[in-house]
Amino acid sequence: MDRGFVERGLDTPRTFPFRLVLTDSTTIQEPGSPGTTWRLHAPWNWTEKRWEGLDLTDQHGGESLTRLPWQRNDVVWSVYCQVKFPTLAK
């Protein structure tokens, strides 16, 4: 997929007028655990090709788009997050 961007001249952050962030989380179980022990929340900055920060929470740390300090002109692709519109408006 990167090659398609490079062929179009979109291979550096300087060519993007926005920051594209892909975000998802996964569950982690301790050996022998009957369920979720932790959740790892992982936002990937596609524009700069780097992690924006990893957040490790206990099993109660649900997915949320409020885990990152968003910037003006951000475009966020969330695989699955609970979207609460009043929180996004802040």
pLDDT digits (tens, 9 = 90+) for 38-53: 888 888 888 888 888 8
Q: Which residue has the higher pLDDT, 90 or 50?
A: 50
Give the chain's domain count. Answer: 1
Please report which residue ranges of 1-90 form alpha helices under DSSP H: 2-7, 85-88
- Nearest CA-CA partner of 41 in 74, 63, 69: 63
Range of the domain at 26: 2-88
The Cα 23–Cα 82 span in angstroms is 12
- Whether the per-residue pLDDT at 61 is higher than 80: the answer is no
Mean pLDDT over residues 51-66, rounded? 80
What is residue 69's three-state secondary structure?
coil
Tell me the pTM: 0.61
pLDDT of 80 higher than 70: no
Rounded mean pLDDT of 46-70? 81
pLDDT given for residue 66 in this prediction: 75
Task: Indicate the DSSP class of residue 44.
Answer: E
